[in-house]
Amino acid sequence: MNRAAKEIVIAGVSLLVCPFALAAEKSDNTLFEQLRGGLSVTSETNVPLPAPAMADGLDAGGQQEVLTKIVGNRFTVKEFVGKVGTAPHVYNIRKIPAAGEDAPRVYGVDVSFVAHGGLDTVAQKDFLEDIHKKQKDRKIHLLTTEEMKKRKLTVQSDKHREERYSHGVFLVLDRVELSAALHTIVTRQPDSLLAATRIDPHFVKDGDFPNQWRKITIDEEGQRKLGPAQPYHGAGGYMKITRLHEPKGALFIEYHLIYVEPKGWFSGADPLRPKLPAIIQSEVRTFRQELNKASGGR
């Protein structure tokens, strides 16, 4: 949606709710648990994120049952787990009702696909960060210890848990500049990786890293102009990567995102949603390509 596993892509919105998701599993990822409890998208609307489709601890048969439900009658499980960059993926985009006067559009996006490579490769600190550093429509800054200290923020990290604060500036269809401070917690289990991210509300009025959006316009001389800053909140999600028993070397990736689209972004129009399938496809292919490259092209 999207940093993918390490930092879900919020503003590019490349990040679905599976109707067949399993019951929620316990996690030491506190941010994930908060998102499962609900994300505040307006003062009157709280939206919980869905449980992971693939639970930890399943045997090969249990995992195959989940994959069978995911693909349904769209295609076969064999095609879904195929070791090709063009293997199919599954996505769902849903509009979420939001209460309140002049409520914004709220969307849920869920994506599932399979990539081939090592879980340890994906878990490397810089793997997915590097993917998104290559994206031209976003800039990411990790807050330093001093920057966090100034805001009385602390993080707790160890070999199984990494916590961070970052700030991203994203372009949405070259029509909106979105600035957002992100809080991320990544946790590792023997056969899975879980990364949860949300826009941190502490930064709404931050002088250096504000949560805001600005409309982009082009003046008569063809120069890009930014409109007045407007506050932004109400976006978050998580990605879970699970090692499959079969086929060997396959990883099941699922990500779930909730995001708010203010009416002022596109003057009441809705050009982003029709473009999401192409954005999702691009992100899936990029993930697969980078994982294949990092795994030696095997």
Q: Are 51 and 218 contacting, i.e. CB atoms less than 8 angstroms apart?
A: no
For 75-113, the pLDDT digits (tens) are 999 999 999 989 999 999 999 998 876 788 999 999 999
**Tokens 């990411």 identify what position?**
140
Closest CA to 103 of 227, 233, 261: 261
Sequence letter at residue 122 = V
- The answer, as to whether pTM is greater than 0.75, is yes
For residue 119, the one-letter residue type is L
Dist CA 116 CA 5 (whole Å): 15
Alpha carbon 144 to chain centroid, angstroms: 23
**110-155: pLDDT as tens digits:** 999 999 999 998 887 667 666 655 555 578 899 999 999 999 999 9
| Residue type for position 267 | S
